[in-house]
Structure 1
């Protein structure tokens, strides 16, 4: 009975953590859908509102590692509860912001809590279940972010268009109170570095940094193509602009299915999952470049590209728990920063290619960046396993009471 009760609490806590990823993803992306109403209300150009998303991503990219190192001694439940309180407060300030400067300050505060949340949520969720389930656990946590893109952001945009953009952020803040209550109530109270997921299961700095580079390149490839998918659909595929929302919905649904399906595969063979998902992205983007003028083919390949990238993020999360050379939260923070570098770089390279080679060219550059990532991921097999001496060194770096 006690074990069944503990399992139910763990499942509830996992749902709460997935709710957190839903909230942060929705809050980050909401200004994209509410660009025009926010610009009109604040009397600023739409490009200035767009900076709310750019600066948010930059803060996450820069702050993830130093902030995680700063709070390394704070117990996870206390830390995550405090972050969710910060999320609620900063979004409440967003609702009542009377100037763009005040709004930007609130967004920076939200981004700082975002950076920390994503660094600790994976190892915290993994602690709730045995190691053999880590891939599935990571997939569920990350699925919250994908559901936010499929349902949360469109719903927030719909609400903002009818009740004003502030109502959307008020709804997000309200949901934040609910998620805070679930996490604060159900998440076990453990100190930092007190569980089986606080460090990599097979620490390997070479494989970890290879993973970081693969994350940057594959993410850049995916974003270079995805950022301009609307132009591709209208200019290359020849479909009407009214079809874009439906196509993106299909891609979003495929993403959620992909990340959930990837979980068991990550548990069995994480590096195989990584290679397979990067390869799937490459094939889909190359197919779009070559055959994107066929509407049916284009729609299917756009969905497959979304599925592949979502599953790729699950593989990243599973692998960081395996090869983290030190604390898994610091490793996750580094990987989060790497993904944000990929997002920024991908959008930049995509813009350059769009100017010179049109929307079709963004698919090609996405596939080429993915191909380099794929070659590196395949090269993992050439890296010898950690030397026993190195393993001993890793064990010596862990206090005697923590060795296992």
Structure 2
């Protein structure tokens, strides 16, 4: 059976966790691809946010300011936003095994170099390389894993793959922070490089040696340029809304909620745990109701942030609002990626890169807006501003089917 076929073999046995893959790729090999890419996502998300919990140790060791170390995170995200589309365009024709192997090798070396960096500028350079690797990874991982399975189960496959990123935020960052504080900040980077080496070994053995154009997921199944632009814009707006509030959640819990400092960590864990549940549950919904898989979480974010803005002084409202926001926000990358795979006007790699760039723009702009409000003394306002941005995203997603399309010229 050709690899690009959209019909699974009749006699294929279905895995308990994954559907039967397409073509001649065995179920175990397909599962290994999904698991290795999920662990890679875990490594990327953990590495991206690792300096947040280790600002003081890194700054003290390298003789830099904490603000300079903070640039290792903000500059990372901005780099991903800027280079995602150009990097995806440059790597468009490479076979997936070759490309992802090179990306993981570069990521491994950059993470190892980060652990050994004797000076701040060298750590900054290593982080720049890591961010370039992440830009390429998020552009191609969705189409790569989606192309291994039938289209009707795409949402579930993406959910399993992207769950690694969610778990990285919930467990990876706190665990790496603990290791860095208990031993040395360099030990955290070394541990991540060791895990990346395992991912590289598994991916090199299991990834099929196919070119992007050979996969049924290489292009959108229902190309629609207007819908694509609407999805990407709504994604950026919603993420900006969430991060307007989430970036300064500790300040909100303190000044508005009146919680003690020790209560901040449990609330952050609640947000992350709810996100893991939301991400894993989003897959089946994406397969059955691709539009609603985005609009319903958007509506939940609006409701949760409005609840925090109006009743943030009440403990129950705080817990419910934070949990709902975490649950809904984790659904967004899966839902938007699933829609991108459907409406991409051309290459799904390029379309995914644009979506990744929009996601990072949303994070950066939301953090900037939230910071401006906090600096101005409007801490409660971060929830309201976030709700307004999320409402704009919801309105755009609901209006997208009604947006005018250009009529295609009739064929003579």
Matching of residue 55 in structure 1 with residue 63 in structure 2: no
Q: Match for 2:33 among 7, 13, 20?
A: 13
Go from structure 1 to structure 2 and tell me whether the alpha carbon gap of 1:98 and 1:280 turns closer, same or farther (over 3 Å shift). Answer: same
Matching of residue 313 in structure 1 with residue 363 in structure 2: no
Cα distance in 2 for partners of 1:140, 1:49 equals: 32
What does residue 331 of structure 1 align with? 351
Q: Match for 1:224 among 232, 241, 244?
A: 244
Cα distance in 2 for partners of 1:147, 1:386 equals: 42
Q: Match for 1:76 among 86, 89, 96?
A: 96
Worse-matched range after superposition: 198-207 or 373-382: 373-382
Cα distance in 1 for partners of 2:189, 2:199 equals: 15
Regions of 4+ moved over 4 Å: 1-5, 384-390
Cα distance in 1 for partners of 2:383, 2:297 equals: 17
Cα distance in 1 for partners of 2:276, 2:80 equals: 23
Q: Match for 1:139 among 146, 153, 159?
A: 159
> How far is the alpha carbon of 1:269 from its aligned partner?
1.5
> How far is the alpha carbon of 1:296 from its aligned partner?
2.1
What does residue 399 of structure 2 align with? 379
> How far is the alpha carbon of 1:7 from its aligned partner?
1.4
What does residue 143 of structure 2 align with? 123
CA contact under 8 A between 1:76 and 1:124: conserved in structure 2? yes
Q: Secondary structure at the match of 2:376?
A: helix
> How far is the alpha carbon of 1:207 from its aligned partner?
0.3
Q: Secondary structure at the match of 1:190?
A: coil
CA contact under 8 A between 1:204 and 1:386: conserved in structure 2? no
What does residue 167 of structure 1 align with? 187
> How far is the alpha carbon of 1:237 from its aligned partner?
0.8
Matching of residue 88 in structure 1 with residue 104 in structure 2: no
Cα distance in 2 for partners of 1:381, 1:211 equals: 11
Cα distance in 1 for partners of 2:109, 2:116 equals: 11
> How far is the alpha carbon of 1:357 from its aligned partner?
4.6
Cα distance in 2 for partners of 1:231, 1:198 equals: 44
What does residue 17 of structure 2 align with? none
RMSD of aligned Cα (Å): 1.6
- Structure 2: state its 5+ residue gaps: 1-8, 14-24
> How far is the alpha carbon of 1:381 from its aligned partner?
2.5
Residue by residue over 1:175-216, the C-alpha shift from the partner in whole angstroms, topping out at 9 and shown as x without a partner, is 000001111111111112111100001000000001111011
> How far is the alpha carbon of 1:384 from its aligned partner?
6.0
What does residue 215 of structure 1 align with? 235
Residue by residue over 1:95-141, the C-alpha shift from the partner in whole angstroms, topping out at 9 and shown as x without a partner, is 11001011100000000011000000000010111101111111111
Q: Match for 1:236 among 256, 275, 295?
A: 256
Cα distance in 1 for partners of 2:77, 2:207 equals: 28
What does residue 211 of structure 2 align with? 191
- Corresponding pairs, count: 392
Matching of residue 257 in structure 1 with residue 285 in structure 2: no
Go from structure 1 to structure 2 and tell me whether the alpha carbon gap of 1:161 and 1:189 turns closer, same or farther (over 3 Å shift). Answer: same
Q: Secondary structure at the match of 1:219?
A: helix
Residue by residue over 1:273-310, the C-alpha shift from the partner in whole angstroms, topping out at 9 and shown as x without a partner, is 11111111010000000011001220121011011111
What does residue 398 of structure 1 align with? none
Cα distance in 1 for partners of 2:72, 2:144 equals: 29
Cα distance in 2 for partners of 1:326, 1:284 equals: 36
CA contact under 8 A between 2:226 and 2:405: conserved in structure 1? no
